[in-house]
Amino acid sequence: MSTRGVRIALVGHGRWGKNHARVLNELGVLSAICDRSQETLDGLAGQYPEIHRGTSLEGLEKLGLDGVVIATPAATHAQLVQHFLERDINVFVEKPLALGLREATALGELAQARGQILQVGHILEYHPMRARIAELLASGRLGNLLSARLVRTNLGTIRDTEDILFSFAPHDIAFALELGGGLPDSVNADGLDLLGRGLADTASMTLYFEDPRPLRVQIQVSWLEPRKEHRALLVGSEGMVEWNDTRGEQSFTFYKTRLDLSPAATSRAVLEGREELPLSTGEPLKLELEDFANCIQQGRVPRAGSQSGIGVMAVLDACARSIRQKRRVYVKTGGKQSFVHESAEVHPEAELGANAKIWHYCHVMARTQIGEGASLGQNCFVAANVQIGARARIQNNVSVYEGVVLEDDVFVGPSAVFTNVRYPRAFVSRKGEYEKTVVKKGATIGANSTVVCGTTIGEYAFVAAGAVVTRDVPPYVLVEGVPAVRSGFMCRCGERLQFRGLLETNCVRCQFPYRREGDGIVPIE
């Protein structure tokens, strides 16, 4: 489809922006070039004599523009995108969309609210080889896709604002999101600041997709390798495809493989055939800018729209947190991210729910599950395989040993103690004798109290400070003393209930009603 009649301005005529200018001009849609360097603009007079040129953004909207292409430093992207969207001008912005997930999400919402197109320069989305890979996957020749390894390296310009993740990884992350069918469940990333500038210049990351089937994508990026390289390897259950997009070495190779995983023999992968597939043609930059112009004409959403940019930013944000926290972190948390203080140690196999908080000097071991919104205060220890529910509050200096289950909304006061072996000896191993302790929803364990293993604390029960619990505590019951004995009943809000010989009463704080039944009480719903 012809794009004639669409008017697009270019903001930023730098190392990559000049390619945008050339392609936009070839498409017949270039109407203006804006760059802060007057010397650069003067040098374009002969190449683009009829194109408006200026150093200021002011007045661009008066040119009757349909869209703008932003090819400026990454730190300026968010501000410039907002500037043009607020003036009802469609925007194409080079990657990354912004330098923060919150900014990227706000820009996507702004574009939607104003009915404008926001396209992100994920150029790999428009590479002709992507269509060939999609065909192979759809045909079933690869079988079930198991993993992908994507490599992008170069020796050249080193950014001083964004690190290697934000500079090199967005293209491959966008590719990974297409392969995985959406956001990964979690990521694990490692970044090296080899030049000591406070920015990672070499990084590797693994994206873990679990739905609709497990897929692992490894991405490696670096500014500090002697040759420019861009290649990808996709591994399936029945074949592999290797794509080399390095200049002068382009190739697209399919490998027919057989995985022999029989338990009766040594497992091995067998190469049964190799086929060089023809390379598709077409300039990716031209294809993506043509898509932008066509979307303006037709009022449709581009292939690499704002949601693609926001998805990539969500993964970049998770990778940055993974590098800081030195652990695997979760992505699918609805924007609510867990927090781990830099002094805490959290095993990569521990699972932290959305908005969970792990404070100073805590140690969380493998396979622990900590629910959404839960909080561990200073100097807490959580052993392997422990389950802590949503919104649980564990105060300072608490050790939660293996075998303990804390359900939702449990409160554990400072220096409370849980045991997991009834008759411990330093010189006798009793790891096979851990007894299960369960603290039910909404219960409170007071400061300096001790809960002996093998007991169950009922829903909304209350263990007073300093008490030693040696047997089960029924729901809504208050226990005190050493050993702990029943001394009353507690409302779910934490107020002590007063029956005074009556069968029913209301909490004096929240007015919730309760009724005596035998030795216990039940709420009147």
DSSP assignment of 20-31? HHHHHHHTT-EE
d(CA 406, CA 353): 14
Evaluate whether 315 touches 187 at the Cβ level (below 8 Å). Answer: yes
277 DSSP assignment: P
pLDDT digits (tens, 9 = 90+) for 270-323: 788 899 888 777 889 999 999 999 999 988 889 889 888 999 999 998 898 888
pLDDT at position 263, please? 63
Position 160, amino acid: D
Angle made by CA atoms 307, 313, 317, in degrees to the nearest 5: 145
Residue 128 contacts by C-beta under 8 Å, 6 or more apart in sequence? 279, 280, 281, 282, 284, 287
**DSSP H stretches of helix in 326-478:** none
Residue 262 pLDDT level (bands cut at 50, 70, 90): low
Residue 337 has pLDDT above 90, yes or no: no
State how far the Cα of 176 lies from the Cα of 163, in Å rounded to an integer: 20
At position 278, the amino acid (one-letter code) is: P
Q: Is cis: bond before 474, omega within 30 of 0?
A: no
Query: Nearest 5 degrees, angle CA 67-CA 73-CA 79?
Result: 60
Q: List, for residues 449-480, the tens digit of each pLDDT value.
A: 999 999 999 999 999 999 999 999 999 999 99
C-alpha dihedral sign at 245, 246, 252, 258: negative
Residue whose token pair is 């897929």: 215
pLDDT tens digit sequence for 1-46: 456 679 999 999 998 899 999 999 999 999 999 999 999 999 998 8
Distance of CA 306 to the CA centre of its chain: 17
Query: In this structure, what token pair is assigned to residue 41?
Result: 């603009």
Q: Helices 17-26 and 284-298, interaxial angle, to 10°?
A: 60
Q: What is the C-alpha to C-alpha distance for residues 129 and 145, in angstroms, rounded to an integer? A: 17
Q: What one-letter code names the amino acid at 322?
A: S
- Residue-wise pLDDT for 372-397, tens only, equals 999 999 999 999 999 999 999 999 99
Q: What are phi and psi of 83, to 5 degrees?
A: -55, -50
% of residues, the chain, pLDDT over 70: 97
- Inter-residue contact 467 to 447 (CB < 8 Å): no
DSSP reduced 3-state for 508? coil
Torsion angle, CA of 239/245/248/254, rounded to 10 degrees?
10
In three-state secondary structure terms, 255 is strand
Residues β-bridged to residue 273: 256
